[in-house]
Homo-oligomer: A and B are copies of this chain.
Amino acid sequence: MAYELYYWPTIQGRGEFVRLILEDAGADYVDVIRDAEAEGGGIEALRAFIEESGHFAPPILVDGETTVSQTPLIMDYLGAKHGITPEDEDARRDALRLSMLLADFLIEAHDVHHPLAKEFYYEDQRDEALRRAPNFRDLRIPKFYSYLENTITANDGHLADGGLSHADFALFQTVEGMRYAFPKASARLESDYPGIVTLHAEIMARPYIKAYTASGRRIPFNERGIFRHYPELDG
C-alpha cells in the first residue's frame, strides 16, 4: 500500500524533508493534498484531515494503520523501513537528535522573516525582521554550521554515528533552503564548512535525489514557504 503524505500543497516546507526520504527510497507514495480536489486534494481536505487525524500539524504520514507526525519522527520512522535509520539504539537516537536539531534551526530560519507572528504579513514585521537578520547571519548560522561541521568531521563525513542517515537528508534540505533564502550569506560562509558542502553534494548526487530535484515534481522555493528570499535580510 502506498504511503500517504499530508502537507501544504504549494510549499516545500517541512514536507520536503519527508518527500526527500520517500524519493530517495523510491517509495510508492501519494502527496495527497497536491491532488485535485476531486481526488481528495486541496487545503480544505488538509484541514479536515488534520482535525480527524488527532495530530497537531502537518506533515503527517499515513502508513496503513500507522499515522506519524513531527518531521524528525517521520524521518526516523521511514528511515527505519528504508535503511537510513541506524539499527543500534544509541545510533538511532543520535540520528533523531540531529534531525531534531535541524528542525530547531528551521524554526530560526523561518522566524528571521517572521519575528513577531506567523499570522502577520512579512510587510508588517519587516522592520523587526531587519533587526533580527544580522544576528541570524552573524551568530546563529555560524553557531549551527560550525557544530554540524565538527560533527561531520568527527563522524567521517556523515552527521550521525555509523554512516548515512536521515539526518544527512535534513542537512541537505537545510543547505538547499539556505542557498535559496540567503545566497550571499551562504556563499560567504560555506567556504568555512567544507564538510557540510561535501555532504550536501553527496546527497544531491544520489540517483533518485538527482532525478527528483531535476524533475518538475519538486515545488520551487517561494515566498510563502519557510525559507524565503528577501534580499534585504541577506545583508
Which A residues are within 8 Å of any B CB, using their own CB?
Answer: 54-56, 66, 68-70, 72-73, 77, 90, 93, 96-97, 100-101, 104, 107, 111, 115-117, 119-120, 125, 128, 131-132, 135-136, 139-140, 147, 150-151, 154
**Complex CA distance for A72 and B101, rounded to whole angstroms:** 12
Q: Is the CB of A93 within 8 A of B116?
A: no
Tell me how far the C-beta of A73 lies from the nearest C-beta in chain B, rounded to whole angstroms. Answer: 6
Bound: A94/B228 CA distance, A: 31
Copies in the complex: 2
CA distance A139 to B117 in the complex (A): 10
With A119-B135, A120-B135, A135-B117 known as contacts, the answer to whether A66 contacts B54 (CB < 8 A) is: no
Interface of A (DSSP majority class): helix
A124 nearest in chain B by CB position: B131
Q: Nearest 7 A-B pairs (CB), nearest first? A: A117-B135, A115-B115, A116-B132, A70-B97, A70-B100, A128-B128, A116-B131
